[in-house]
Structure 1
Amino acid sequence: MKNTRMRAAVAAVSLTTLALGLAACSTDGGSGDDDGATEGAAVTIDDEHSVGAMDDFAAGTTFKATEPVEFSLMYRDHPNYPVKEDWSIFQHLESDQNVTFDRTDIPLADWDQKKALLIGSGEGSELMPVTYPGQETQFVSGGALLPVSDYLDYMPNLSEKIEKWDLTAEFDNLRQDDGKYYILPGIREIPDVQYTVMVNEQMWSKAGITEDPATWDELGDDLKKVQDANPGLDYAFSDRWTDTQTNGALLNTMGPNYAAAGGWGYNNTWYDQDSGKFVFNGSSDAYKQLVSTLHGWVDSGVMDPEITQSDDQAKQKFVSGKSAAVTSNTQEITVYRQALADAKKDVDVRLLTIPGGPAGSNLPASRLSSGLMISSKAAEDPHFKALLQYIDWQYYSDEGMEFAQWGVDGETYSKDGSGVRTLNDDIGYNAINADAPKKLNTDFGYSNGVFLLANGSSQDLLESVMSDEVKEWTRAVLESKEVLPVAPAARLDEMELEQASLLDTQLKDAVEAATAGFITGQRSLDEWDAYVTEMDGLGATQLVDTYNTALARQEG
């Protein structure tokens, strides 16, 4: 690392000030003729902006700048692996790719807020990773972001994977009203399946349960059997990841099986495939069914009504045997096993195959995840073309992704003739070599979301860091589930975006509060019709009409 810059904290500003800052931040957005307001328009990068770029860069080609280049990078500093100047990843990028970074380090806890403040004040870095699709929309009208769809000709690895993995429809959904998209998302060859319910196998066996439930309603029945068979339980199920958003992970996992979106994945609008129109998700019959399922669990006494508890509280209840099931994921199962071992508990745990619901046994459509934005100012830099080539290699080539995931063959891992990768014995990552003294991310900088989108993207890389247990579970889920069709995205114009944003937050807050009340019984489900009227009063119908108007416009 040649040059590192730490920026001081940016003072908080009002939303109005931020909006003004975004509107004031503008640029011509290209180093060539940017006359492409239509989809597919491309921009040519001239020699003046191709310093360090390779002449023969293509899909599968190792990127190495023809001379040293330095890119500005807004770096998300994760507390589990705080950034270190001597990380192997930085050293190899400098020696092998001729790339160094001028970093702006931002703690994870402040990431989204400070990223927005820096962009709004015109201080966005060339590279701004760890950004989820949709988060870029707020910055588009101010001209702060590069319309990356204009430059796909310079990104052969990404272009190849869009076609090979059949991602065109999902990328088209990223387009704004001008027909362009302004984010390069993380992409996955297979759907992302991580979250489900983890169970105490001994308590499950004591209840005589030998098969995973086919539906969430059947899981409720199983929880009742477990509760009855284990009188020492406070509750058969006590949820985790529910302190900041009601049943955030659980409702997100359940939602597609009810034809609704909930929890972490909640959106006010849901595209109804039958009618070909958007409906208001939070007051739909499907959302009512989703909420009613969890209310039934609470009402029958099998689910802990404490839905604002911390993660630590939920974990402690499971480890101490006060609950027999908890929401978990493919990484956390290892953490639970260690906690049980530390507590000298001889307990087997396993992940349930994700159940289905009234709408079928479904997974959400999108295979896009956290990606990166590029500052529009990057197009003015002499090394602009080299920057695009580096991004394409690092985030979308098989070689770049393997490097970001595993590190360097012979230094952090070895690879045999059949392609099987093995971490060095003294290096661990998640469940691999869990007791090793060094960690792949903490001590070397690899397996780091700043440089590795979508946890590796390809099925090969995703499975390469899974235990056999998790790999088998993942394959079983994928075989039993149907991926929902990709819904169209309504491309709101600037005025529609402004109107929708005013309604969106207040509606989400109201739905969140009502969801918690309905689940815990603090509000009766007999009041659902009154709740629907309340949502209309807050603008639910107006919001849906805005989306459907935009959808009709783009469909011609």
Structure 2
Amino acid sequence: MARAGNLAGRRTRKARAAGALTLVGALALAACGGGGGEDTAAGDGEGAELECSAESVADEQWKAAEPREFSLLWTDWADFPIKDSWEFFDEIEERTNVKLNLTNIPFSDATEKRSLLISAGDAPQIIPLVYTGEERQFAASGAVVPLSDYADYMPNFQKYVDEWDLRDMVDDLRQEDGKYYMTPGLQEVSVPTFTLIIRKDVFDEVGAPAPETWEDLQEGMELIKAKYPESTPLADGFEGQSMINYAAHAFGTVGGWGFGDGAWWDKDANEFVYAATTDGYKDMVTYFAGLNEAGLLDSESFTAADDGGGTVTEKFAEEKVFAASGGSWTVQEFATALDAAGVTDYELVQIAPPAGPAGDFVEPRNFWNGFMLTKDAVNDPNFCDLLHFTDWLYYNPEARELIQWGVEGEHYTKDAEGKYTLEPDFTLANLNLNPSGTIDLKKDLGYANDVFAGSTESRALKESYNVPAFVEYIDSVQSTRTPRDPFPPHPLDETELEQASLLSTPLKDTVDTATLGFVLGQKDLSEWDAYVSGLEGQGLSSYMDLINGAAERAAGNDG
């Protein structure tokens, strides 16, 4: 049985769906004194006032001179409940002299719980699992630390931002005051996390090549439908949010999970426009509406989430779906389901997101989840150590390797070519690595956990736990697709954020409802102009005035 693609399953499909600067690359910290005294933290957010008792150096093991305790917000995944016996925390403490005191919140409502804790001033010091944009409300209210003030105390972060050429992207994180309030996970290579997984053997069977464009995909779906008339061959499984997200860039717009604040930079007009009113957005929904009308789109997958082995996976196994949204882990889920159904000689391939009318553009994905520090952290007498610790944990290569693989020589070995091999007793079952092992690194020991794993990754580390077909996916994206340029910064101040929130929420609700209606044929495309007029009636012009005013102000601040 031939299988192409990554056999890595990292979470349930629903959980994964939640789950998208000019800094000198100094190796040693400036402004750090010698001696063994306590650190002095500056309470006013000025990094220059810090006096650190020990330095931190990029790519070296950092360890606090005395035992420290820092608090951290931990998100509990139902599939991998945290255990007191997890070795992961003991190993972190042994290496750094830092004990983590956890505040636990469930994944099911993690974003809401996090916001309530931060707003009430009850949140722990370290807030992980923060994606770019989520920090804005907390930055505007002063609830989190301006980490840009303390960049000199994060040598690992500085080095890899510089080395991986992510400087301009970090600068785009700056808020209205010119500072950034979270540091993201850094990815050496930019590849979309979600894309299409296809049954390449079936595409070959009906004479359809692996789709390079969305037009190619439609042709392939038509040929497959003719061969398998009971099928609806294309599915999403994430309420349409995933497919619309990765498709949008090729149509010259943003949508789905990637909609963000809805602002799309119109280069010709030199201003932001609302993405969901553009010709590109209309072209995109028209395309998917056409697929649905022709019976090529599984409409159920656009209205319901596929929660781990759910409807899309089942339909894949039943050979009613032959192309669906997913990530590197999804191939394993589909392969397991096909095996269980007795399907043989299949070939699953994770393909680069198809190109479209706007070109071969994909979303830039050099950032993944990072962290914030709550405002009271600066008053901790060991604030220097807190900065050093988080910098080591998130950006030091040995720390990243530890998080993913455990302890070298105990849990795994690595040969001269960089190939990782788990010791016989250990398994990473969700990655299908050494399935005969009896001790699961993730479930039993806490390594490869969903709070930290995958945040910052070199290409080598990303490839280390993936099969060769995923490397082929990386190569395909790198050689045939173009990451869309970041949009000009347009940070809002606190008052503007409040105004924008009041306007953007009902606007986005209207967009989501109308998009689904157009795609599923519940709303005729002849109503497009009326839909746009409805958005105007909800204050769209005022909303875009806020966005463009912020962009003009930011451009003026830049020079």
> Shift in Å at residue 189 of structure 1?
1.1
Describe the SS at the equivalent of 1:43: helix
1:237-287 CA distances to partner (integer Å, 9 max, x unpaired)?
A: 233111xxxx11111111111111111111311112333311101111111
Amino acid of the residue matched to residue 267 of structure 2?
Q
**Judging changes above 3 Å, is the alpha-carbon distance between structure 1 residues 540 and 431 closer, same or farther for their aligned structure 2 residues?**
farther
Q: Does 2:313 correspond to 1:315?
A: yes
Unmatched runs of 5 consecutive residues or more in structure 1: 1-29, 37-41
Larger RCO: 1 or 2 (CA < 8 Å, sep 6+): 2
SS of residue in 2 equivalent to 1:214:
coil
C-alpha spacing 1:436/1:201, structure 2 compared with 1 (3 Å): farther
CA distance in 1, matches of 2:165, 2:78: 36
Aligned positions of 1:399-414 closer than 5 A:
399-414=398-413
Residue of structure 1 in register with 2:371 after alignment: 372
1:32 corresponds to: 42
Q: CA deviation at 1:434?
A: 4.1
How far 1:517 moved relative to its partner?
Answer: 0.5
In structure 2, what residue type is equivalent to 1:516? Answer: L
How far is the alpha carbon of 1:536 from its aligned partner? 0.9
| Aligned partner letter, 2:381 | P
How many pairs align?
A: 509
CA distance in 2, matches of 1:33, 1:43: 11
Cα distance in structure 1, aligned partners of 2:525 and 2:434: 49
AA of the residue aligned to 2:258: G
**1:289 Cα deviation from its structure 2 partner:** 1.0
Contact kept, 8 Å, 2:192 with 2:364, in 1: the verdict is no
Aligned to 1:16: none
* Worse-matched range after superposition: 133-142 or 380-389: 133-142
Structure 1 counterpart of 2:242: 249
Shift of residue 65, structure 1, vs aligned partner: 0.9
- Equivalent residue number for residue 333 of structure 1: 331
CA distance in 2, matches of 1:262, 1:510: 13
Preserved contact between residue 431 and residue 467 of structure 1 (Cα < 8 Å): no
Task: Indicate if the aligned counterparts of 2:41 and 2:379 stay in contact, CA closer than 8 A.
Answer: yes
| Secondary structure, aligned partner of 2:299 | coil
The residue aligned with 2:385 is 386
- Contact residue 33 and residue 43 of structure 1 kept, 8 A: no
Distance in 1 of aligned mates of 2:364 and 2:322: 31
CA distance in 2, matches of 1:337, 1:418: 29
Which residue in 1 is equivalent to 2:62?
63
Unaligned runs of 5+ in 2: 1-39
Match of 2:177 in 1: 178
Change (3 A) 1:35 1:248: closer
Between the aligned partners of 1:437 and 1:260, the Cα distance in structure 2 is 48
Letter in 2 for 1:162: V
1:100-145 Cα distance to aligned partner (Å, 9 max, x none): 1111111111211111111111111111101111111122233221
**Deviation sequence 1:190-211 (CA, Å, 0-9, x none):** 11323222223443233122x2
Alignment of 1:148-547 (within 5 A): 148-209=147-208, 211-231=209-229, 233-242=230-239, 247-267=240-260, 268-306=262-300, 307-311=302-306, 312-348=310-346, 349-425=348-424, 426-428=426-428, 429-434=430-435, 436-454=437-455, 456-547=456-547
Q: What secondary structure is seen at the aligned counterpart in 1 of 2:70?
A: strand
Q: What whole-Å deviation, never above 9, does each CA across 1:463-507 have from its counterpart, x for those lacking one?
A: 111111111122112211111112112021222111111111111
Range with greater deviation from structure 2 (512-521 or 212-221)? 212-221
Say which SS state the counterpart of residue 365 (structure 1) adopts: coil
Matched residues in 1 for 2:371 and 2:539: separation?
32
Structure 2-normalised TM-score?
0.88
Equivalent position SS for 1:235: coil
- Deviation string 1:299-340 (CA, Å, 9 cap, x unpaired) is 112112222134112221121122222222210111111111
Counterparts of 2:516 and 2:180 in 1: how far apart (Å)? Answer: 35
In the TM superposition, what whole-angstrom CA distance separates every residue of 1:367-421 from its partner, at most 9, and x where no partner exists?
Answer: 2221111011111111110111011111011111111111110121111223322
CA deviation digits over 1:435-458, x for unaligned, max 9? 54333221221122323352x421
Question: Would the aligned equivalents of 1:366 and 1:486 in 2 still touch at CA under 8 Å?
Answer: no
Instruction: Tell whether the 8 Å contact from 2:43 to 2:379 is kept in structure 1 after alignment.
Output: no
Question: Retained in 1: the 8 A contact 2:128–2:371?
Answer: yes
Residue aligning to 1:18: none
Worse-matched range after superposition: 297-306 or 425-434: 425-434
Cα distance between partner residues in 2 of 1:145 and 1:297: 45
Q: Which amino acid aligns with 1:433?
A: N
Q: Distance in 2 between matches of 1:135 and 1:106?
A: 17
Measured at CA, do residues 491 and 508 of structure 1 come closer, stay the same or move farther in structure 2, by a change above 3 Å? same
Could you tell me whether the CA contact under 8 Å between 1:217 and 1:293 is conserved in 2? Answer: no
Q: Once the 2 structures are TM-superposed, how far is the Cα of residue 353 of structure 1 from its aligned partner?
A: 3.2
Cα distance 1:157–1:461, how it changes in 2: closer, same or farther (>3 A)? same
Q: Does 1:87 align with 2:86?
A: yes
Q: Is the 8 A contact 2:266 2:272 kept in 1?
A: yes
- Of stretches 526-535 and 304-313 in structure 1, the one that deviates more from structure 2 is 304-313
Q: CA deviation at 1:508?
A: 0.6
Q: Distance in 2 between matches of 1:35 and 1:509?
A: 37
* 1:149-170 deviation per Cα after TM superposition (whole angstroms, max 9, x unaligned): 1000100110111111121221
Q: Which amino acid aligns with 1:239?
A: D
Structure 1 consecutive aligned stretches of length 4 or more whose deviation exceeds 6 Å: none
Mapped to 2, the partners of 1:223 and 1:337 lie a distance apart of 20
Contact 1:280 1:541 in 2 (8 A): no
Q: CA deviation at 1:350?
A: 2.4
Superposed CA offset, 1:55-82 (max 9, x none): 2421122111111111111111112221
**Cα shift at 1:424:** 2.2
Q: Whole-Å Cα distance in 2 between the matches of residues 269 and 165 of structure 1? A: 27
Distance 1:142 1:65 in 2: 32
Once residues 465 and 269 of structure 2 are traced to their aligned partners in structure 1, the CA distance between those partners, rounded to angstroms, is: 42
Q: 1:44 aligns with which of 49, 73, 84?
A: 49
- Distance in 2, matches of 1:215 and 1:319, equals 25
Match of residue 97 from structure 2: 98
| Overall identity of the aligned pairs, in % | 35
